[in-house]
Structure 1
Amino acid sequence: MSDHQKTEGDQSATQDSMRPESPEAAAHPRRLKSFVIRSGRKTAGQQAAYDTLWPKLGLDPGTPLRDSRSPGRESAPLVIEVGFGMGQSLAEMALAAPETDFVGIEVHPPGVGSLCLQIQTSEIGNIRIYQHDAVEVFEGCVDDASVDRIQVYFPDPWHKKRHHKRRLIQPEFTAMLAAKLKPGGLLHLATDWEHYAHHMYDVLAAEPTLENLAEDKFVERPEWRPETKFERRGQKLGHGVYDLLFRKR
């Protein structure tokens, strides 16, 4: 999930707070997912781009990623983004690095449609898309030690304490991401929620296969991550932005 999804997360949290957790739910916790279901429709332009490009860009969650890479680019650097939101930063990164293959994972239909429209408008040729749960994609489609960089930017912070268990960055998911990285591969996270930033750091620092590239906890925004409108708006309001960059040992 991306920065634009925080509002929905807050709405979901509010709705959940109105429903007491049943004994059955407490005894059988839900399986970790990388998203919450949100409402929304593609615009006409997004739908048209999606209809045109999806047969070429869409990735089947039942097929290994290695079998979906373009002929002749099997050895190109591979970057996977979890929760690309409306896709602006992912499109910008792909345009800036045509030698790299980018794979975006997003479940929100308007976000997928938006990225398809940007790919069509800018004639971007190095992005493929999963419209599926990221946990299941990594479990079923991505080989171990096959990814050069995994990035998760501005996931839902689930800021209320009782909802912290819903946060995406947890030890189990982090260990799975680390396993998918090549030796020397990078795991790059970013958030504008300070408490979540420290939670992220604690989780990543506890993963024995990862090492922090920061002198302390956080790094300056790497040049490959574009600054978003959401981020600039937050900075004007005095919000900090925290980047974490860890390397596979």
Structure 2
Amino acid sequence: MPEPRIFRDEPVSFVRRSGRMSDGQERAFAEHAEFYLLDVERGVATTSVHADARLDVASAYGRSAPLIVEIGSGQGHAIISAASARPDDDFLAVEVFRAGLARTMLDADNAGVRNLRLIEANAPEVLDPYLPEGSVSEIWIFFSDPWHKNRHTKRRLVRTGFAEIAARALADGGVVRLATDWEDYARQMREVFDEAPDFERAFDGDWADRFEGRVMTAFERKGIAKGRAIRDLSYRRSPRT
């Protein structure tokens, strides 16, 4: 069995700024974390996942259903909308910012959404090894930090090696969906997945059509307001041999 990958030897795709949550956010955590937030054993950092930690997906959701994972779920607008519209699927929001997690839990509870769980963790460590191999139907990465300065691009989530991590988590035929308003990052994403042997394009032409299951969020509106084109990509996981 291969040695587990040590993700903290690599730059993470976020800067986790400390900050006090509002009283309402604190209440949301206190009232809703027991149901929504997965309790994960940590490794070396507060957002790490211990190399031996594994999720029992059926136990976490109380059933077996297709699992959709959104990386960088922010305040949860996209994933709550999707979970409400797709009650036969299960959803996992991966986020490191506690205020966003608190807002997601509060809004999910208010909307009566029960097929959603959240995890406060570095996304690559969730995909490998925390989630069982082949357990995910879709991975969503919408408007992740483009780290547009040249000295920071090494921190982008979708970079060399990421497709391999995503391929491990995805079931055969599973789909990774991506969107960004930063052209350079979009081209990097496309290059990473075009070169990945475990993926094939699920679109024709240069870019995919806008994913109809993605609701308009503040990040997308901000990009449009600044005159940046929104570029979508989608890739299908090839069958394992």
Q: Aligning the two structures, in what range does the TM-score lie when normalised by the shorter sequence? A: 0.7 to 0.9
Map 1:230-245 onto structure 2 (within 5 A).
230-245=219-234
TM-align CA RMSD: 1.6
In structure 2, C-alpha distance between the alignment counterparts of 1:129 and 1:90, rounded to whole Å: 10
Q: Is the 8 A contact 2:143 2:220 kept in 1?
A: no
Note the C-alpha offset of 1:221: 1.2
Q: Is the 8 A contact 1:34 1:135 kept in 2?
A: no
In structure 1, C-alpha distance between the alignment counterparts of 2:32 and 2:191, rounded to whole Å: 40
Map 1:86-101 onto structure 2 (within 5 A).
86-101=75-90
Note the C-alpha offset of 1:225: 1.0
Q: Is the 8 A contact 1:64 1:141 kept in 2?
A: yes
The residue aligned with 1:247 is 236
Q: Is the 8 A contact 2:127 2:168 kept in 1?
A: no
In structure 1, C-alpha distance between the alignment counterparts of 2:20 and 2:164, rounded to whole Å: 34
Note the C-alpha offset of 1:238: 1.7
1:72-116 CA distance string (max 9 Å, x none): x22x11001111111111111111111110001111110111101
The residue aligned with 1:213 is 202
Q: Is the 8 A contact 2:76 2:103 kept in 1?
A: yes
Q: 1:50 and 2:29 equivalent?
A: yes
In structure 1, C-alpha distance between the alignment counterparts of 2:223 and 2:149, rounded to whole Å: 19
Q: Which amino acid aligns with 2:209?
A: E
In structure 2, C-alpha distance between the alignment counterparts of 1:121 and 1:84, rounded to whole Å: 18
Q: Which amino acid aligns with 1:80?
A: V
The residue aligned with 1:146 is 135
Q: Is the 8 A contact 1:61 1:137 kept in 2?
A: no
Q: Which amino acid aligns with 2:77?
A: Q
The residue aligned with 1:193 is 182
2:161 is paired with a residue whose SS is: helix
The residue aligned with 2:211 is 222
Q: Is the 8 A contact 1:32 1:166 kept in 2?
A: yes
The residue aligned with 1:9 is none
The residue aligned with 1:157 is 146
The residue aligned with 1:36 is 15
CA 139–32 in structure 1, closer or farther in 2 if over 3 Å, else same: farther
Note the C-alpha offset of 1:123: 1.4
Gaps of 5+ in 1: 1-28
Q: Is the 8 A contact 2:136 2:169 kept in 1?
A: yes
1:143-162 CA distance string (max 9 Å, x none): 11110001111111111112
In structure 2, C-alpha distance between the alignment counterparts of 1:130 and 1:34, rounded to whole Å: 16
In structure 2, C-alpha distance between the alignment counterparts of 1:38 and 1:217, rounded to whole Å: 36
Note the C-alpha offset of 1:55: 1.2
1:171 is paired with a residue whose SS is: coil
Gaps of 5+ in 2: 1-7, 42-52
The residue aligned with 1:64 is 54
1:166-219 CA distance string (max 9 Å, x none): 111012122111121111100011100011100110001010110111212311
Equivalent pairs counted in the alignment come to: 219
Map 1:80-159 onto structure 2 (within 5 A).
80-159=69-148
In structure 2, C-alpha distance between the alignment counterparts of 1:41 and 1:152, rounded to whole Å: 27
1:145 is paired with a residue whose SS is: coil
Note the C-alpha offset of 1:30: 4.4
The residue aligned with 2:45 is none
Choose between structure 1 and 2: higher helix proportion: 1
Q: Is the 8 A contact 1:104 1:130 kept in 2?
A: yes
Q: Is the 8 A contact 2:26 2:102 kept in 1?
A: yes
In structure 1, C-alpha distance between the alignment counterparts of 2:88 and 2:28, rounded to whole Å: 24
Q: Which amino acid aligns with 2:67?
A: L
